[in-house]
Amino acid sequence: MIPDALVGSQAVFTAGFSNLSADRFLNNLIAYDIDMLVDVRSRPFAGYTPHFNQDQIEVLAARAGLRYLYMGSELGGFPKDPGLYDPHGYVLYDRVAAQPWFERGIGQLMDGLLQGHRLALTCAEDNPRRCHRRLLLGRVLRERGIGVAHILANGSLISESELLDEEAAKPRQLSLFGGEPEPQWKSAQPYFPAKHAENDSVS
């Protein structure tokens, strides 16, 4: 069921394919009336699930009645520019969000919504809590008044408001100088391109 807050409003969905079959994944999208699948992987290949390679999922999505759009160059989680990473290999999302190519990508999503499309952003990661679909793209879209919800691998849906409530309920760490330290806006895990050169299923 779609959350009440998203009914009748502009909203973007996200969905990680994990190790699902193509049929199961696409049926999850169809259940929420998705008509456009937006691939936001930096590298659109999946070694363990080759049916999610770009050339295959594009065909399978079309057969299921969905349009496929690859936008990993604009909205991928692991950009090529080393200046967008900290010394530990974390992606610095504030720097990514300031890039012209990122802004163009967000603009394309907004245009798709204005044209009446129901979008789902996809990459390999199932858990939105640690994925750039939510941490980067979802945050930017929310700041522009767009609702965000996440389709999980089991077919259930969790809204962004539920995740925010979940985070608010967690105990906070106080700094030595009082108050709560402001967390840096960055990826949930470090990424080093050289280390992952052979990993073809990154976001």
- Taking only the tens place, the pLDDT of each residue in 98-151 is 999 999 999 999 999 999 999 999 999 999 999 999 999 999 999 999 999 999
Q: How far apart are the C-alpha atoms of 6 and 106, rounded to whole Å? A: 19
Q: How far apart are the C-alpha atoms of 144 and 58, rounded to whole Å? A: 29
Contacts of 58 (CB under 8 A, 6+ apart): 68, 70
10-14, 73-77, 94-98, 173-177: range with lowest mean pLDDT: 173-177
Q: Say yes or no to pLDDT of 42 above 90.
A: yes
Q: How far apart are the C-alpha atoms of 159 and 3, rounded to whole Å? A: 7
For the domain spanning 8-160, the CATH number is: 3.40.1010.10
Residue 71 contacts residue 203 (beta carbons within 8 Å)? no
pLDDT for 150: 97
pLDDT for 5: 45
Output DSSP code: residue 186. B
The predicted-structure confidence for 138-189, as pLDDT tens digits, reads as follows: 999 999 999 999 999 999 999 999 998 988 887 766 555 555 556 799 999 9
Overall average pLDDT of the 5-31 stretch: 88
3-state SS record for 18-75: CCCCHHHHHHHHHCCCCCEEEECCCCCCCCCCHHHCHHHHHHHHHHCCCEEEECHHHH
Q: What is the CA radius of gyration of the chain?
A: 17
Domain assignments of the chain as residue spans, ordered by start? 8-160
